[in-house]
Structure 1
Amino acid sequence: MRQPNKHGSGGEGHPLLATVLVVLLVVGLGVAWFQARSRVDRQGDQAAGKCVEGPATIPIIASPDIAEVLGEIAKRYNATRPVVRDHCVTVSVRPSDSKVVLEGLRGTWDTESMGPHPVAWIPQSSLWAAELTTGKPNAVEGSPDSLASSPVVLAMRSEFADNAAGKLAWSDLPGLAKRPNAMADFGLPTWGPLRLAMPVGVAADATVLSAQAIAAGVSRTSGPLTAAQAESRPVADGIKAVLDAAPTTPEGAAAPAAVAISRADPRRGMHAVPITEQQLYLLARTGAVDTSMRAFFPSGATPVADYPVLRLADDKVSAAQSDGVVDFVDFVKMPAQAALLTGLGFRTERAQPSMGNSAVSFPAVRDPLARPEAAASAAITKLVFR
């Protein structure tokens, strides 16, 4: 009788053992593959960390009211030693007046007087994007992303704000500007005519944005203001009436005007000025204006300073620099950095300022003014800076 093979040789074998061996072999190959892949990934990371393509600087120009905090955020960003497209990138932020930047970008950028050519520009509002792209349609890369926002309000004394609640719309301002006793409509007959400041000096975005709100109100449009509406006679006459009646403002700027309103006798001084909510918040927080001042939201769509990030499409800007701007903006929007912005009174996509003060309460903006067509924005800007 034939004896069984004790060592399992021959054709019968053990199928379970064979299966286990196959599984172990497959697992072993898989582990080896993942280990090899991991080594390749780490080597790639190490190569990137060594800046294979060298360093890249990313100069950004920003509106003066947000440039300082963005500079602090840039220091945080640089401390993370970011690498973009195998370049070690460094972001720098400097302030500049938007009119000066626009002139440089439209013409020849003078590095001696204006510093390095910017990779990105963050003005206070999109009106500057419209100004730039109207003359140079391909000057901006992609669709600008809003970094922060602040609605435009009228800074005024509390007596005026309390009496004007529900009675004053943006579209009312041209008519009120023409009347010698307009303040009587608000129970303030001794204050005389409405003296609404309309500063057109440095950082006059709030003035232009308020003019856009007036134009939208006069045109009775709920959508984006069109070029035809902006260039219409009623809009031109309305904005002209407000500008002609406007008193001279200190330094041609909104903040000094707000300070003057808080200190002057309302029977002789200015009564209101368009200003961003954020600027008025800081003025009240620092005591530059007294507790009598209020942020007033006229009826109608609310204009908003939106701080767009304009990535400049220029042969002086590399792909690594442009992508670096995107990476920096993503960093700015992270909670820790957004908290720096909201702490100064800016609104962001993910967070709002947690506390107001005597002048500003940060109410929800339920009806933001639609961004005008670029040609319409340019037409309104031209009317203001006539």
Structure 2
Amino acid sequence: MAHHRSAAGRSGLSGRGVSRGLVGTLLAVVLAAALVVLWIQVGDRVDRQGDQAAATCVEGKTTVPVVADPDVAGALDEIAQDFAKTNPVVRDHCVTIAVRPGDAKITLDGLTGNWDAESLGAYPAAWVPQSSIWAAELTAAQPDLVDGDPDSLVSSPVVLAVAPRLATAFGDDLDWQQLPTLQQRNASLGAFGLGSWGSIRLAMPTGAQSDATALAAQAVAMQVTRTTGPLTEQDARSDRVSSSVEAMLDGAPRSPDGTPVGAAREMADAQNPATSAIHAVSITEQQLYQLTREDTMARLAEVVPGGPTPMADFPIIRLTGPRVATEQADAVAEFFRFVATPDELGKLTALGFRGDAPMPPATATVTFPVTANPMPNPETAAAVTINGLVYGWA
């Protein structure tokens, strides 16, 4: 008689069974081996990419100097180090961005005269001053050195730093065009209930990083000429503008160090605000924030006069000419695109600048109010004319 095998007989493995633990062990070994192979492949790929990047630097290494306002130079240098970690290659050059702080007037004089590398450092491929008053001066003097219209890196509104009691007295009743009269008229603060304080004693610093002084003068010029668009050269040359700026300058108290920050610090340290030698100074909001950010009680207040608000716009002036190599110009463009990414730009806005990244929390002095009516940049000739009135430049 024929005999039929059972199902178990046809499947020996099923009949005998296999340990689940053994199967798990085998799978773990296979998985570990796969991970090792994958890790080796990734390492090889990284090595190949590094070799490929090195191979593309056939023209060698290039340093790209950038001169910046001291208020932004430190953060820009930090961002430049982040940029270096991306191993940037431009036109077959491995590039390094070298940011250094520079005084705006000294930089302008060097660019429009004979650049002395020994005293000024390497000739820059880009310049980021505090405001466009310097872009106007450079464009007027040497237009062939400026590559296109400058873009704003970050911005900071120009405000008045005053004693808290004076800010309360002003309320919302102060505008820019009142400043010349408040400067010249005796006991002018009586109009705000503080006649014993005398006049406004508005400091007009003209030393380092004093762009706020010229920008405030532009705001006054716009209002006294009733200009609704950008300030024109004709506006700036009017008798009303020159007499208004002269009124603010005449008898203005001196800043201890010639800067807006020095004047604000003197007010903050005054024992009696009413008798302080300085009652007010135009200053960038960012400078005021840095000066007072550790204060738990306000020693100063931020006043935003009515009318268009002047802005320190920190223009990125891309330089051109025989002293700026093509790869340097291209590297500048790549670098500032990198700066504009949110994580990197945040390194600047954390210092109190305005930009498309989070701002620091409000302080006892600076609340970062919305700038509802930013002042447009004047025509180049108008800015140069106002600069001449404020700084006495020919």
Query: 2: distance between equivalents of 1:384 and 1:283?
Result: 25
Query: 1: distance between equivalents of 2:99 and 2:62?
Result: 14
Q: Quickly say closer, same or farther: Cα 1:299–1:364, change in 2 above 3 A.
A: same
Gaps of 5+ in 2: 1-47
Q: Which moved more, 1:148-157 or 1:137-146?
A: 137-146
The residue number in structure 1 matching 2:31 is none
Gaps of 5+ in 1: 1-41
The residue number in structure 2 matching 1:280 is 288
Q: Quickly say closer, same or farther: Cα 1:173–1:139, change in 2 above 3 A.
A: same
Query: 1: distance between equivalents of 2:137 and 2:267?
Result: 31
Q: How many residues align?
A: 344
Alpha-carbon contact 2:351-2:360 (below 8 Å) kept:
no
The C-alpha deviation readout for 1:50-98, integer Å capped at 9, x for no partner, is 3022211100000011111111111111121111122110001111110
The C-alpha deviation readout for 1:139-181, integer Å capped at 9, x for no partner, is 1101211111000000011111112122110011111112101
Question: 2:124 corresponds to which letter in structure 1?
Answer: P
Query: 2: distance between equivalents of 1:237 and 1:370?
Result: 22
The residue number in structure 1 matching 2:350 is 343
Structure 1 length as normaliser, TM-score? Answer: 0.86
1:58 aligns with 2:56: no
Q: Quickly say closer, same or farther: Cα 1:62–1:43, change in 2 above 3 A.
A: closer
1:234 aligns with 2:240: yes
Query: 1: distance between equivalents of 2:304 and 2:54?
Result: 51
C-alpha deviation, 1:291, in angstroms: 1.3
The residue number in structure 2 matching 1:186 is 192
The C-alpha deviation readout for 1:357-382, integer Å capped at 9, x for no partner, is 01111111111111000000000000
Query: What's the C-alpha RMSD, in Å, of the aligned pairs?
Result: 1.8
Question: 1:247 corresponds to which letter in structure 2?
Answer: P
* Structure 1 residues 1-386: aligned runs within 5 Å: 46=52, 50-264=56-270, 265-269=272-276, 270-287=278-295, 291-348=298-355, 350-386=356-392
The residue number in structure 1 matching 2:28 is none
SS at match of 1:356: coil
Q: Percent identity?
A: 48
Question: 1:194 corresponds to which letter in structure 2?
Answer: I
Runs of 4+ residues deviating >3 angstroms: 42-45, 47-50
Structure 2 length as normaliser, TM-score? Answer: 0.84
The residue number in structure 2 matching 1:28 is none
Query: 1: distance between equivalents of 2:108 and 2:361?
Result: 35
Query: 1: distance between equivalents of 2:57 and 2:207?
Result: 44
The C-alpha deviation readout for 1:187-222, integer Å capped at 9, x for no partner, is 112111110011001111011111111111111112
Question: 2:125 corresponds to which letter in structure 1?
Answer: V
The C-alpha deviation readout for 1:323-354, integer Å capped at 9, x for no partner, is 11111111111111111111110111x22414
Query: 2: distance between equivalents of 1:246 and 1:290?
Result: 28
C-alpha deviation, 1:106, in angstroms: 0.2
Q: Quickly say closer, same or farther: Cα 1:336–1:43, change in 2 above 3 A.
A: closer
Query: 2: distance between equivalents of 1:135 and 1:380?
Result: 15
Alpha-carbon contact 2:186-2:199 (below 8 Å) kept:
yes
SS at match of 2:349: helix
Query: 1: distance between equivalents of 2:53 and 2:350?
Result: 39
The C-alpha deviation readout for 1:22-73, integer Å capped at 9, x for no partner, is xxxxxxxxxxxxxxxxxxxx99992675302221110000001111111111
Query: 1: distance between equivalents of 2:332 and 2:253?
Result: 41
Alpha-carbon contact 2:163-2:268 (below 8 Å) kept:
yes
C-alpha deviation, 1:268, in angstroms: 2.2
SS at match of 2:127: strand
